[in-house]
Chain A
Amino acid sequence: QKEVEQNSGPLSVPEGAIASLNCTYSDRGSQSFFWYRQYSGKSPELIMSIYSNGDKEDGRFTAQLNKASQYVSLLIRDSQPSDSATYLCAVTILQAGTALIFGKGTTLSVSS
C-alpha cells in the first residue's frame, strides 16, 4: 500500500512565525513531490513542487526533500492569517502511472 502521511493538526502559529509542515511517504520509488493549499470549500492550489534532495525556496515558502528519510516538508516564513488553510502533500510514483497520491492534509491556523 503506497501511503503519504501527514499530521492532521491543527497546527496553530502566531502571525509572523514560521510554520513547519511535515510529510512522510512509504514508497522509495516516489519521484515527484508537491504541496497544495486548500482553503475551505475550494479546490487544491499547487504552491510548491520539488524533485531532488535539498531545499527549494519560492517567496515565503521553502520545500525540503530528503529521499533517504522519505520525508518532505514545507516551511512558511512570516506566516499570515491568509495562510490559514489545509496543506496537502502529494507524491507521484512512476510505477503507478502519473496519478498523485495525497496525504489527508494538515490544517494550519495562523492567529493575528
Chain B
Amino acid sequence: GAGVSQSPSNKVTEKGKDVELRCDPISGHTALYWYRQSLGQGLEFLIYFQGNSAPDKSGLPSDRFSAERTGGSVSTLTIQRTQQEDSAVYLCASSDSRAFFRNEQYFGPGTRLTVT
C-alpha cells in the first residue's frame, strides 16, 4: 500500500517568511510524528499526534513552531518567521499505535527546508 507522503519535497524560503509542511500518513495509522534532521545531527523529535490531539509537543524548539492534524489523517507543520537555523530535513513518520509499546514508525521522504 501507499507509504507516508510529504510535500513539498524541497522548500527554499527567505528568512522571516512562514512555511507550511504537509504530511499524509499511512492509511489507518493513528499515530503521527514529526522529526527533523540537520546536517551532521541526529534525528530530533518535534511533536507526536494520537488522532487529532498532540499529547507530546516537548520537542518543538520554539513558539514559532506549531502543528495540527485534522480528521485523524493529514498533518501540517508550520514554522513562522523562519530563521537560518531552521534549515533541515523535516521528516514525518506514522505508526499503528494499537500495539502501544511496539511502535514501529515508518518515515516519509522528508521535506528539505532551506532558509536563505
Contacts and interface: CB of A to CB of B under 8 A. Distances in A.
Nearest to B40: A104
Interface string B80-101: 0000000001010101010011
Interface residues of B, number: 28
Given A97-B48, A97-B55, A46 B104 contact: yes
Interface residues of A, number: 25
B91 A99 contact: no
Interface in B26-62: 31, 33, 35, 41-43, 45, 48, 55-56, 58-59
Contacts of B48: 97-99
Interface of A: 31-32, 34, 36, 42-46, 49, 51, 88, 90, 92, 94, 96-105
